[in-house]
């Protein structure tokens, strides 16, 4: 099946009891058992729920994976991956990643004896010096949040395989419409489904997709044993959101392209981060592993102080100043004070996350209104 068909149908059949075409919201915490253990495959909704199962099968299909698991947030999904590790294990990850992931790694799992190396993995040759017998996981985002570095997934997967290291790719910024990490050799794909998958900024959710049966069993065990699983209403919302993922992504990419080119030629804009530009340092990899370049764009303002940047961020009329991304509405975010506030200044500035950096999640409104808004805010 092609992507658009999977987005609309995968995991979903007319409901066997009523024929309902849309997957019902099975708003139940528990299930009848004729005798203990004699049930229809559902016992308790922390572990299994039919609405969630339909979503998980759809998510797996979108990532060309055998298994999918939905979590109550992106960080809930990340937390379960980290629980695959044991004290003494080491993780290699990027120097530019979502602030909440960094916070979890350094403030929680580092206390359990896990060592994290934050390096520039956009150059895969940087990885080898950090590999030793304790290295168990490579965790990467691509495009990275917020400076849109592109990591060569196939290149990193080759290194990971050669050393039997698990590779997990946070595919939130690309969405499965633009990129499928498992096809490129990753073992696990993670999503903040809060973003493009949900698509309407009305639900918080995470997901993991994988092929390996053992890995699936372990992660299902964690999710049932620790309980970061989403309820049926949220599962329904994401399942519904996914039905238009391909349509929304096309519009995000087209609007993103126009906004990126507008900003590039604007005299007040200094650096601009969008993988679609030929002079983006990883453009060739982006062209190879992504189907288009997405609607996420970051940029800095020439000579702007923190105060100037705050003022600018607050002067938009269509773009809403808010955390998150990937919804139909356009958002503007100031990473230093919002999404990446937990990353130490020295580390974030090295990765380009400076005071004057702003991040746009370009929505699917009329492009004329988006460009007009940028023009007036930057005037
Ligand atoms: O918010 P949650 O669903 O828990 O997902 C966390 C997460 C994981 N990975 C990436 C790449 C993310 O961007 C996020 C969440 N990010 C934001 C809220 C943000 O505005 O960047």
> For the purposes of burial, counting CB atoms within 10 Å of the CB of 344, is it exposed (0-12), middle (13-18) or buried (19 or more)?
exposed
Q: What is the reported pLDDT for 178?
A: 98
Distance from C-alpha of 245 to C-alpha of 8, rounded to nearest angstrom = 9
Is residue 220 located within the same domain as residue 148? Answer: yes
Specify the ligand 1 atom closest to the Cα of 172. 11
Is residue 153 located within the same domain as residue 278? Answer: no
Would you say the CB of residue 194 lies under 6 angstroms from ligand 1? yes
Q: What is the reported pLDDT for 72?
A: 98
Is residue 197 located within the same domain as residue 56? Answer: yes
Q: Which of 242, 265, 294 is the last residue of a domain?
A: 242
Mutate which of 99, 102, 145 for ligand 1 pocket (most atoms within 8 A of beta carbon) = 145
Instruction: Write down the mean pLDDT value for the chain.
Output: 97
Is residue 235 located within the same domain as residue 252? Answer: no
Q: What is the reported pLDDT for 310?
A: 97
Instruction: Tell me the average pLDDT across 314-329.
Output: 98
Cα–chain-centroid distance for residue 43? 30
pTM to 2 decimals?
0.98
Q: Of all residues in the chain, what percent carry a pLDDT higher than 70? A: 100
Instruction: Tell me the average pLDDT across 343-369.
Output: 96
Is residue 299 located within the same domain as residue 235? Answer: no
Is residue 198 located within the same domain as residue 220? Answer: yes
Instruction: Tell me the average pLDDT across 292-301.
Output: 98
* CA distances for 248 relative to 4, 33, 141, 236, angstroms: 11, 42, 21, 18
Instruction: Tell me the average pLDDT across 68-81.
Output: 98
Measured by CA distance, the residue closest to atom 13 of ligand 1 is: 98
What residues make up the domain containing 267?
245-378
Distance from C-alpha of 75 to C-alpha of 257, rounded to nearest angstrom = 29
Q: What is the reported pLDDT for 67?
A: 98
Is residue 179 located within the same domain as residue 79? Answer: yes
Specify the ligand 1 atom closest to the Cα of 340. 21
Is residue 266 located within the same domain as residue 215? Answer: no
| Among 303, 308, 296, residue whose Cα is nearest residue 272 | 296
Q: What is the reported pLDDT for 288?
A: 98
Would you say the CB of residue 295 lies under 6 angstroms from ligand 1? no
- Summarised one tens digit per residue, pLDDT across range 307-321 is 999 999 999 999 999
By the 8 A CB rule, do 351 and 95 touch?
A: yes
Active site residues: 46, 98, 170, 195
Total domain count, the chain: 2
Is residue 65 located within the same domain as residue 84? Answer: yes
Q: What is the reported pLDDT for 334?
A: 98
Q: What is the reported pLDDT for 317?
A: 98
Q: What is the CATH number of the domain that holds 111?
A: 3.40.640.10
Q: What is the reported pLDDT for 218?
A: 98
Q: What is the CATH number of the domain that holds 257?
A: 3.90.1150.10
- State the SS3 of the chain: CCHHHHHHHCCCCCCCCCCCCCCCCCCCCECCCCECCECCCCCECCCCCHHHHHHHHHHHHHCCCCEEEEECCHHHHHHHHHCCCCCCCEEEEECCCCHHHHHHHHHCHHHHCCEEEEECCCCHHHCHHHCCCCEEEEEEECCCCCCCCCCCHHHHHHHHHHCCCEEEEECCCCHHHHCCHHHHCCCEEEEECCCCCCCCCCCCCEEEEECCHHHHHHHHHHHHHHCCCCCHHHHHHHHHHHCCHHHHHHHHHHHHHHHHHHHHCCCCEEEEECCCCCCCCCHHHHHHHCCCCCCEEEEEECCCCHHHHHHHHCCCCCCEECCCCCCCCCEEECCCCCCCCCCCHHHHHHCCCCCCEEEEECCCCCHHHHHHHHHHHHC
Q: What is the reported pLDDT for 102?
A: 97
Instruction: Tell me the average pLDDT across 197-201.
Output: 98
Q: What is the reported pLDDT for 189?
A: 98
- Summarised one tens digit per residue, pLDDT across range 107-144 is 999 999 999 999 999 999 999 999 999 999 999 999 99
Give first-to-last CA distance, the chain, whole Å.
48
Instruction: Tell me the average pLDDT across 23-38.
Output: 96
- Summarised one tens digit per residue, pLDDT across range 157-186 is 999 999 999 999 999 999 999 999 999 999
Mutate which of 101, 171, 194, 207 for ligand 1 pocket (most atoms within 8 A of beta carbon) = 194
Q: Of all residues in the chain, what percent carry a pLDDT higher than 90? A: 100
CB neighbours (10 Å) of residue 202? 12
Q: Are strands 166-170 and 188-192 parallel, antiparallel or unpaired?
A: parallel
Q: What is the reported pLDDT for 81?
A: 98
Distance from C-alpha of 377 to C-alpha of 379, rounded to nearest angstrom = 6
Would you say the CB of residue 339 lies under 6 angstroms from ligand 1? yes
Instruction: Tell me the average pLDDT across 40-57.
Output: 97
- Summarised one tens digit per residue, pLDDT across range 242-260 is 999 999 999 999 999 999 9
Q: What is the reported pLDDT for 362?
A: 99
- Centre of ligand 1 from the C-alpha of residue 9, in Å: 27
- Centre of ligand 1 from the C-alpha of residue 31, in Å: 33
Is residue 186 located within the same domain as residue 144? Answer: yes
Q: Which of 242, 261, 281 is the last residue of a domain?
A: 242
Distance from C-alpha of 376 to C-alpha of 304, rounded to nearest angstrom = 17
Is residue 145 located within the same domain as residue 270? Answer: no
For residue 125 the two structure tokens come to: 């040759």
- Summarised one tens digit per residue, pLDDT across range 180-198 is 999 999 999 999 999 999 9
Mutate which of 148, 193, 195, 295 for ligand 1 pocket (most atoms within 8 A of beta carbon) = 195
Instruction: Tell me the average pLDDT across 16-28.
Output: 96
Is residue 226 located within the same domain as residue 261? Answer: no
Q: Which of 196, 220, 242 is the last residue of a domain?
A: 242
Measured by CA distance, the residue closest to atom 16 of ligand 1 is: 324
């Amino acid at each position: 099946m092609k992507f658009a068909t999977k987005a609309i149908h995968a995991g979903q059949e007319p409901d066997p009891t009523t024929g309902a075409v849309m997957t019902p919201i099975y708003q139940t915490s528990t299930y009848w058992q004729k005798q203990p253990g004699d049930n229809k495959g559902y016992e308790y909704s922390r572990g299994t729920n039919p609405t969630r199962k339909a979503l998980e099968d759809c998510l797996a299909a979108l990532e060309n994976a055998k298994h999918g698991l939905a979590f109550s947030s992106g960080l809930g999904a990340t937390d379960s991956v980290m629980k695959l590790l044991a004290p003494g294990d080491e993780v290699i990850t990027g120097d530019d990643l979502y602030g909440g992931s960094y916070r979890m790694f350094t403030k929680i799992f580092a206390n359990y004896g896990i060592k994290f190396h934050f390096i520039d993995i956009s150059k895969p040759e940087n990885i080898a010096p950090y590999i030793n017998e304790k290295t168990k996981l490579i965790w990467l985002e691509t495009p990275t949040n917020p400076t849109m570095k592109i990591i060569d997934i196939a290149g990193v997967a080759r290194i990971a395989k050669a050393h039997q290291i698990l590779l997990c790719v946070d595919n939130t910024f690309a969405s499965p419409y633009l990129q499928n990490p498992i096809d490129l050799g990753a073992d696990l794909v993670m999503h903040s489904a809060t973003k493009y998958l949900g698509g309407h900024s009305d639900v918080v959710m995470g997901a993991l997709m994988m092929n390996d049966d053992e890995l699936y069993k372990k992660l299902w065990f964690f999710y049932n044993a620790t309980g970061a699983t989403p309820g049926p209403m949220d599962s329904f919302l994401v399942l519904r959101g996914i039905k238009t993922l391909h349509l929304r992504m096309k519009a995000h990419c087209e609007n993103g392209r126009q906004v990126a080119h507008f900003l590039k030629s604007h005299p007040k804009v200094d650096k601009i981060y969008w993988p679609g530009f030929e002079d983006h340092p990883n453009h060739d990899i982006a062209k190879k592993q992504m189907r288009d370049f997405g609607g996420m764009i970051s940029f800095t303002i020439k000579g702007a102080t923190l105060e100037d940047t705050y003022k600018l961020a607050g002067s938009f009329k269509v773009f809403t100043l808010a955390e998150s991304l990937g919804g139909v509405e356009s958002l503007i975010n100031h990473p230093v004070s919002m999404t990446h506030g937990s990353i130490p200044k020295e580390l974030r500035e090295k990765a380009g996350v400076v005071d004057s950096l702003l991040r746009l999640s370009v929505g699917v409104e009329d492009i004329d209104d988006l460009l007009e808004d940028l023009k007036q805010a930057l005037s």
